[in-house]
Amino acid sequence: MKITDVQFKKFCIELAEPFKVAFTEVTHSVSILLKIETDEGYTGYGEAAPFAPVTGENAEGCLAVLEVFRQGLIGLNPLDIEKIHVMMDNLVHGNGSAKCAVDIALHDLKGKVMNQPLYRVLGGYQDTVQNDITIGINAPEKMAALAEDYVKNKGYRILKIKTGIDPEEDLRALSLIRQAIGPDIRLRVDANQGYNINSALYALEGMKKYGVEAVEQCLPDWDLEGASYLRKKVNGIQLMLDESIHTTKDAARACRLEAADIFNIKLMKCGGLYRGAQISTLAENFGITCMVGCMMETKIAITAGLSLVASRKNITEADCDSFLYYKDADTGMPGGFERNGDMFRLSDKPGLGLEIEF
């Protein structure tokens, strides 16, 4: 089998309302959809969701990189996934979301060749995933009201709360949220690099009162030594790294420094499912569990991320919720999974199991 054509196009989606985190506010997303075709009639779909503050990419640069990859992909066997990753790494440093688009399309195609759903192609640990829902930074009263709605009306049992601008306001928001949702709902926090050592120590100590189980990326992405220091100083809350973990080398360094209890794997950071699985295996060997998170993505990358969660025992958490913030949650791509409250059951259709017109 050989790749005969690679096509891609830009895809812009408006959010239902702005979404605020510590370092930016998002009103819309720009993804690039990719299609790989073969001489045996198989087709695979992928997605790049470049986000400059995290991946260092924008849409125009991503399109240029994909054009370079296109020239290298034509004529290759799409099942030679490691070979293709080596080719992409040799051509371009970084550019995780561009590599992710190719990687997801290759895995979608592989699932179709095998006539198996993607979660089974990747490992097949389970077919159901419990997903969290994220609450962006807002007035604490509004955050608490939204939390109550998610729990009481939409069936969510895990909330992820964005913080990182003002520790005092963060703690006030968590206090109101816990009052609104009761003691049994799981809470985790994402500071998106917004704290320094002192403010992180202060905030983490205060968060214990509200039953926060994990806090993500307290410090700037480069400060793994600081993350290691925090982990040694703080008891009772698990510490997670996100923006610090792009590559397997990042993960290996964090493991050596004992800088995290949990890694947040994002396909757009690491270059797709193949590298994401490698990070999970590396983490497991050091006693670190993983979560799969997301950027602002369509159901292509969301389904891929959920499939990676379902495929591996060591990936215990899912934060693949960004598609729910769009005006059209399906993003014009039905299938992939069924949703019942916060439980997501993956499709048994081959590959991603999505209906895509491209």
Mean pLDDT score across all residues of the chain: 95
Catalytic residue among 266, 297, 317, 319: 266
Residue 16 has pLDDT above 90, yes or no: no
Decide: 189 and 159 in contact? Cβ < 8 Å.
no
pLDDT, tens digit, for every residue of 234-290?
999 999 999 999 999 999 999 999 999 999 999 999 999 999 999 999 999 999 999
The pLDDT value recorded for residue 255 is 98
Catalytic residue among 103, 170, 216, 297: 216
Q: Is 328 annotated as catalytic?
A: no
- 311: buried, middle or exposed (CB in 10 Å: 19+, 13-18, 0-12)? buried
Q: Is 266 annotated as catalytic?
A: yes
Q: Is 184 annotated as catalytic?
A: no
- The structure's pTM equals 0.95
Decide: 122 and 277 in contact? Cβ < 8 Å.
yes
Residue bearing tokens 């926060």: 212
For the ranges 16-25, 50-59, 153-162, the lowest mean pLDDT is seen at 16-25
Residue 25 has pLDDT above 90, yes or no: no
Kind of pairing, strands 337-340 and 25-38? unpaired
Question: 52: which residues sit within 8 A by CB, 6+ positions away?
Answer: 58
Catalytic residue among 57, 103, 170, 242: 242
Catalytic residue among 170, 190, 319, 321: 190
Decide: 308 and 276 in contact? Cβ < 8 Å.
yes
Beta bridge partners of 162: 190
pLDDT, tens digit, for every residue of 209-241?
999 999 999 999 999 999 999 999 999 999 999
The pLDDT value recorded for residue 332 is 85
- 73: buried, middle or exposed (CB in 10 Å: 19+, 13-18, 0-12)? buried
Give the chain's largest Cα–Cα span: 60
Catalytic residue among 35, 112, 160, 162: 162
Decide: 243 and 21 in contact? Cβ < 8 Å.
no
pLDDT, tens digit, for every residue of 69-126?
999 999 999 999 999 999 999 999 999 999 999 999 999 999 999 999 999 999 999 9
Q: Is 205 annotated as catalytic?
A: no
CA distance 323 to 331: 8
Q: Is 242 annotated as catalytic?
A: yes
